[in-house]
């Protein structure tokens, strides 16, 4: 499966135990291929640098190089019209469309309010994504 994960989902999967960590195992295990573009990677690096995560300057590039990039397909910079209530979220939709993603996984209300899909790309919550990976889990 080829998925676009919003930044908060990736950060949760990388840094915290819990439901989102299942996605980390999925991309490392080859069940999921992450679709990104330059803007998504830059945003991820910026968010990982937030003081609340307490990551050193050395740790951020290391996380990107070892835990993200080897499991990604880089989509040429995707652009398009304004779609969501928050224009900063449009980049996820545009990468999903340009990369022909099987899904966009997000917990962002501004994306989820668009419905179950946008231009043929399913928009899934974290729980829905995990249920796709592990249909037998409660």
Cβ atoms of 27 and 37 within 8 Å: the answer is no
Q: What does pTM read for this prediction?
A: 0.91
Return the pLDDT at 1: 95
Which residue, 77, 111, 106, is CA-closest to 94? 77
90: in domain = yes
What pLDDT is recorded for position 80? 81
CA distance 52 to 107: 20
Given pLDDT bands bounded at 50, 70 and 90, which one contains residue 117? very high
pLDDT attached to residue 138: 53
CATH code of the domain covering residue 99? 3.40.50.1010
pLDDT score, position 111: 92
Residue 100 lies in a domain: yes
Please report whether residue 116 resides in a domain.
yes
> pLDDT digit string (tens) for 5-25?
999 999 999 999 888 999 999
- Range of the structural domain that residue 117 is part of: 2-133
Interatomic CA distance for residues 136 and 44, integer angstroms: 31
Question: pLDDT value at position 81?
Answer: 81
What CA–CA distance (Å, rounded) separates 107 from 113?
10
Is 115 part of a structural domain of the chain?
A: yes
- Give the number of domains in the chain: 1
Secondary structure in 3-state letters for 41-109: HHHHHHHHCCHHHCCCCCHHHHHHHHHHHHHEEECCCCCCCCCCCCHHHHHHHHHHHHCCCCEEECCCH
- Say whether pLDDT at 137 is over 60: no
The answer to the question of residue 69 being in a domain is yes
Is residue 138 one of the residues assigned to a domain?
no
**pLDDT tens digits along 59-112:** 999 999 999 999 999 998 788 888 888 888 999 999 999 999 999 999 999 999
Q: How confident is the model at residue 47 (pLDDT cuts 50, 70, 90)?
A: very high
Query: Would residue 19 count as lying in a domain?
Result: yes
Asked whether residue 56 carries a pLDDT value surpassing 70, the answer given is: yes
- Separation CA 47–CA 32 (nearest Å): 22
How many angstroms separate the CA atoms of 56 and 118, rounded?
37
- Is position 78 within any domain? yes
Retrieve residue 52's tokens: 């609340």
């Amino acid at each position: 499966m080829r998925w676009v994960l919003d930044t908060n989902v990736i950060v949760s999967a990388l840094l915290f135990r819990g439901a989102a960590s299942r996605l980390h195992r999925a991309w490392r295990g080859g069940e999921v291929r992450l679709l990104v573009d330059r803007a998504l990677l830059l945003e991820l690096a910026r968010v990982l640098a937030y003081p609340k995560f307490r990551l050193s300057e050395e740790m951020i590039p290391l996380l990107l190089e070892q835990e993200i990039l080897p499991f990604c397909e880089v989509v040429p910079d995707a652009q398009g019209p304004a779609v969501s209530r928050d224009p900063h979220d449009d980049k996820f939709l545009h990468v999903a469309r340009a990369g022909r993603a099987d899904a966009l996984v997000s917990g962002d209300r501004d994306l989820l309010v668009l419905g179950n899909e946008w231009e043929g790309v399913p928009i899934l919550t974290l729980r829905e994504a995990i249920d796709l990976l592990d249909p037998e889990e409660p």
